Structure 1
Amino acid sequence: MTKLFSRAIGGASVLAIMLVAQSANAATWRYAFEEALEEVQGKFAQKFKEEIEANTDHTVQLFPFGTLGESDDIMEQAQSGILNFVDQSPGFTGALIPEAQVFFVPYLLPQDQDTLNEFFRSSVAINEMFPKLYAEQGLQLLTMFPEGEVCMTTQDPVHSPDDLNEVKFRVMTNPLLVESYKAFGATPTPLPWGEVYGALQTGIIQGQENPGFFLESTKMYEVTDVITCIGHNNFTTAVMANKDFYDGLSEDDQKAIDAAIEASFDYILDYQQGLQDESLEKIKEAKPEMQINILSEDERKPFMETAGDVEDAFIEMTGDGGEEILNQMKKDLATAEQATQ
């Protein structure tokens, strides 16, 4: 056997060993979220999958809403390690992490999109304080991002809190959101998302809230007659990893995840530009008789006046820790506003 042939065989063996090693290190990561594949959380997840698979040997398996159960099911699976990643709104983690309910204090988040985006990008509360709280529940908080202005759907027009009197209004299973809609004058009714369409159809409830894109994609307009936007909130969601899984990864894999999250964050903020208006227009096209009311500043004032009571309820629920986060968020929001002026 010639030396050249021996070297060729040796090189091929080394290459084979390297390929086997790479294959052995490659894994399939499981990622579940609360929306459909073509909704905002699904778009974020697809971008994350694209980035991971382009820059590592790993693959990402996506599980849209309903494939693994309701929101509480996927959270349990993420905490137990069955899932590696989960995207879930603080609305469903309020019982687990009470301080996360701060995102449901009405009129806390700004309506200006640039200010809102800057807040989520640079917030000390989000980037430094919340990760510690999520870690206590076995979760690595990777990012939070806004999904769009929340609007109400009802059977009758709403121009003041009086119009919500005795309206059975579906809310997420979140204690502070219950307090918020009590303050608005409604009768809050916590329900899992899978039951909402049917409950509206049968009259068990008469209203619910969600961002415009979600109202359009889930066809909520088929079982309600009025959309009312009062500027009270922007739907927030959080992407998390199982902490034991994340901590056990190599430094390179952790860096790849962090980079993929950053790219997906930038992508999803850009994706949402104009999405709310486009979604409301599509609803109007699908159901021309649908009333879409954007309340004036004067009409919003009675709703805005309830914010103080909900803040007090939040602090009562969460104590000094919640108050510290609320105060830090207000500082972060002021900083974001100055940065975008």
Structure 2
Amino acid sequence: MNNRVSGVFKKSAALAMLSFGLFPYQAFSAEFEARIGHLESAQQPRHQALLKVASLVSERTSGAVDLTFFPSSQLGTQRQMTEGTQLGVIQGTVSPAAFLGGFNKVVSVLDIPYLYPTNRELSTKIRSSEFGQAILESFEGTGTKAIALWPNGRKNFTSNEPLENAKDFNDQRFRVMNSKVLIAQFNALGSSALPLPFGELYTSLQTGVVDGEENPLDTIFRMKFHEVQKYLVISEHGAMEDIVLFNSMWWNSLPKKYQEAITTAFNEVIPELERNKDSSVENALAEIKKSDISIKTLNEAERTELRDIMYPKAKAAYLSFAGEKGEELLTLYEKAYQSYK
């Protein structure tokens, strides 16, 4: 992505900040203030965990650092928030990794299906390994500072066509985020993949533009996709990982003790975030079961079969654009995966 943003964007971003009351700062402002945007609603586990982070940071810095989080795309699209963080128009964003591939190619490694084991303890170890640290370090030189990886659930398949086994994916059409890795994932199954804006997905499923899609269960329920889909496969094939990004100049202006307080808070709340996400997913599944959709839960053997089909082609697609740095990152991943599986 171009490191420069047009004057039009700068002006619109500044106006957006004014409209949300971000300027001028309050008279009794903290020593360091950060406005941080993200996509999800205020009711979702991510935002609730972010509020906990803000509280911990304020407490541990005696009010010197004030983190204010703006949910539901209040500060722009994810691209605008990423660019705004890079330029310092805003101080940070919490972004799904899948939206950052154009900003940092190597982070698209997280789009590869079944990258993390379904066992949470093992996934946590991989996230905390040299592999996870290398992902954060890959943002150096972009004008941003990546300080944490946040788990945000796992994707599952839905379709209006049967999905009893891997062969049933053949010739079906699935909506994907605009990612070469995700397109390769479906191509490996004999499906075609169509990048579509998220806001168009419900209608596209309803009218047959695509047969199916992939999302976490709570997203499927919240967006009512189960109302226009006949089949749900609980596959947990794709990890939804968030990257916590700060503007590098703002971050470097902080005393080291404040940097440590922020980083520690983000990592400390992960177990609570996962528990709340589990509860959200459990409640979503209970509601989805009240509909007419047919539900199949894959066993470990079926998940392994899908991984064996999708992983090699998705990996090859990733390496085709991520180059040497991507290969180094995958080597770290496979070392960690073999150590912990």
Return the TM-score normalized by structure 1: 0.83
2:84 is aligned to 77
1:293 maps to: 296
Deviation at 1:65, TM superposition (A): 2.5
The aligned amino acid for 2:322 is T
Which residue among 66, 73, 78 is the counterpart of 1:66?
Answer: 73
What's the CA shift string for 1:60-114, capped at 9, x where partnerless? 3222123233222221222121221211111111122121111222222101122
Aligned to 2:3: none
Count of equivalent residues: 312
2:6 corresponds in structure 1 to none
Identify the residue that residue 131 of structure 2 maps to in structure 1. Answer: 125
Change (3 A) 1:67 1:201: farther
Runs of 4+ in 1 over 6 A off after TM superposition: none
Please give the per-residue CA displacement for 1:6-25, whole angstroms capped at 9, x wherever unaligned.
xxxxxxxxxxxxxxxx9465
Indicate which of 88, 95, 98 corresponds to 1:91.
98
Question: Among residues 256, 262, 267, which one is paired with 2:261 in the alignment?
Answer: 256
- Deviations for 1:16-38, whole angstroms, at most 9, x for unmatched residues? xxxxxx94653442111121122
Give the aligned partner of residue 3 of structure 1. none
Corresponding residue of 1:105: 112
CA-to-aligned-CA distance 1:135-187 (integer Å, 9 cap, x gap): 22211111112222210121122123442333331111212111111112221
Shift of 1:301: 5.4
- The answer to whether the 8 Å contact 1:211/1:234 transfers is no
Q: Which residue of 2 aligns with 1:167?
A: 172
2:174 match: secondary structure: strand
Work out which of the residue numbers 316, 324, 330 in structure 2 matches 1:326: 330
Deviates more, 1:46-55 or 1:159-168: 159-168
Mapped pair 1:54 → 2:59: yes
Deviation at 1:302, TM superposition (A): 4.8
CA contact (8 A) 2:171 2:190 kept: yes
Tell me what 1:141 maps to: 146
| Kept after mapping to 1: 8 A contact 2:151/2:270 | no
The answer to whether the Cα contact below 8 Å between 2:181 and 2:315 also exists between their aligned partners in 1 is no
User: What code does the residue aligned with 2:267 have?
Assistant: E
Q: What is the alpha-carbon distance in structure 2 between the residues aligned to residue 53 and residue 156 of structure 1?
A: 50
3-state SS of 2:171 partner = coil
Is 1:232 the counterpart of 2:237? The answer is yes
The verdict on how the C-alpha distance between 1:230 and 1:48 changes in structure 2, with shifts beyond 3 A counting, is same
- 1:33, 1:227 → 2: CA distance? 28
Q: Partners of 2:256 and 2:302 in 1: how far apart?
A: 53
Larger radius of gyration: 1
Relative to 1, partners in 2 of residues 1:297 and 1:61: Cα closer, same or farther, differing over 3 Å? closer
Between 28-37 and 50-59, the greater mean CA deviation after superposition = 50-59
- Contact persistence 1:142–1:239 (CA under 8 A): yes
CA separation in 2, counterparts of 1:232 and 1:269? 17
- Residue identity opposite 2:108 in structure 1: Q
Match of 1:135, SS? coil
| Alignment-derived partner of residue 184 in structure 1 | 189
Kindly state the Cα deviation for residue 279 of structure 1 after the two structures are TM-superposed: 2.5
Q: Percent identity?
A: 24
Structure 1 residues not aligned, in runs of 5+: 1-21
Q: What SS class does the counterpart of residue 208 from structure 1 fall into?
A: strand
Mapping 1:16-35, distance limit 5 Å: 23=28, 25-35=30-40
Looking at structure 2, the residues matched to 276 and 113 of structure 1 have their Cα atoms a distance apart, in angstroms, of 15
Contact 2:148/2:266 (CA < 8 Å) preserved in 1?
yes
1:303 aligns with 2:306: yes
Q: Secondary structure at the match of 1:88?
A: strand
Q: CA RMSD in A?
A: 2.3
**CA 1:202–1:61: 2 relative to 1, 3 Å:** farther
Q: 2:271 aligns with which of 266, 272, 275?
A: 266
In structure 1, the partner of 2:158 is 153
Give the aligned partner of residue 12 of structure 2.
Answer: none
C-alpha distance in 2 between matches for 1:223 and 1:43: 29
TM-superposed deviation, 1:299: 4.3
